[in-house]
């Protein structure tokens, strides 16, 4: 059965209405992590995050050694029923290091309105090297830009034509979304969108919301929705929207080839 994409209205409610002034943008190069770029394009076209400063230290359950980040990975399906094998790594969106991760199950500590955190997400089996590289870049973005607890940030992709799914989605739109839950070889082709948590421990969701949503029971993204825009920065870089609505004046962070930070500002769109 073809995957039923998540309505982008979910992301609009989370990201667009809360943006005040310029927002920092996490950007990574798809040439270095094509698999992970495809995860983002899948989430964007077939289905803004707020950083959780304590995701790797907060213990939401008494007597447990699991952190909020651990529980979020469980909720989205990257632990107990992890579909990835043969060296593949389970990549999830929203990130486990954000309050938006874990399908809205673990909002404890969020300084905003927890009802604005979205209760849907995606997983994709990717190259372990790609996943590790992306995680390292994200941590550098947090550290080098002093992203505070609960602070909103957006995500953009550079060289997204290097990622095969991103390229076909840009050409054909939501109708090119891959089949959901494809377990055939290679396992890196496995994609899954879900709204029902994979574990029973989910203090941030009511019983009603737990049982009324099911994996894959998501809203179709109409083909008439405008494609993600290509932004231009003041140093000539071109980046594609991934998560969140980019605006002129937003500060863009990326890593240069020599491993140093590169800061630029969005000046327009193609």
Q: Which range among 29-33, 77-81, 92-96, 208-212 shows the weakest confidence by mean pLDDT? A: 208-212
Q: How confident is the model at residue 193 (pLDDT cuts 50, 70, 90)?
A: confident
Residue 16 is predicted with a pLDDT of: 31
Residue 176 is predicted with a pLDDT of: 82
pLDDT tens digits along 129-164: 999 999 999 999 999 999 999 999 999 999 999 999
Residue 215 predicted with pLDDT over 80 = no
* Residue 17 per-residue DSSP state: G
DSSP 17-77: GG--S--EEEEEETTT-HHHHHHHHHHHHH--EEB-TTTTT---STT----HHHHHHHHHT
Q: How confident is the model at residue 194 (pLDDT cuts 50, 70, 90)?
A: confident
Quick one: what percent of the chain has pLDDT higher than 90?
50
Using alpha carbons, select from 177, 159, 141 the residue that is nearest to residue 51: 141
Residue 45 predicted with pLDDT over 50 = yes
Average pLDDT over residues 206-215: 49
Q: At what angle do helices 34-46 and 164-172 cross, to 10 degrees?
A: 30
Which residues pair with residue 154 across a beta bridge?
A: 25
């Amino acid at each position: 059965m073809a995957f039923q994409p998540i309505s982008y209205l979910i992301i609009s409610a989370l990201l667009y209405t809360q943006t005040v002034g310029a927002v920092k943008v996490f950007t990574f190069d798809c040439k270095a992590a094509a698999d992970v770029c495809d995860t983002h394009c899948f989430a964007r076209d077939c289905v803004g995050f707020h950083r959780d400063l304590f995701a790797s230290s907060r213990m939401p359950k008494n007597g447990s050694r699991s952190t909020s980040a651990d529980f979020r990975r469980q909720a989205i399906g990257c632990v107990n029923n992890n579909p990835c094998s043969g060296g593949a790594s389970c990549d999830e969106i929203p990130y486990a290091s954000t309050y938006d991760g874990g399908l809205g199950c673990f909002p404890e500590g969020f300084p905003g309105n927890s009802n604005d955190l979205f209760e849907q997400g995606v997983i994709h089996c990717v190259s372990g090297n790609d996943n590790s590289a992306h995680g390292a870049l994200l941590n550098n973005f947090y550290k080098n830009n002093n992203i505070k607890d609960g602070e909103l940030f957006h995500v953009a992709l550079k060289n997204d034509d290097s990622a095969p799914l991103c390229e076909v989605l840009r050409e054909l739109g939501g109708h090119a979304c891959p089949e959901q839950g494809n377990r055939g070889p290679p396992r890196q082709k496995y994609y899954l969108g879900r709204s029902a948590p994979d574990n029973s421990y989910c203090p941030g969701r009511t019983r009603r919301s737990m049982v009324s949503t099911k994996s894959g029971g998501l809203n179709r993204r109409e083909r008439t929705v405008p494609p993600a825009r290509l932004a231009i920065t003041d140093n000539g870089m071109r980046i594609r929207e991934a998560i969140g609505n980019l605006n002129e004046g937003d500060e863009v962070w990326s890593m240069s080839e020599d491993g140093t930070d590169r800061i630029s500002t969005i000046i327009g769109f193609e």
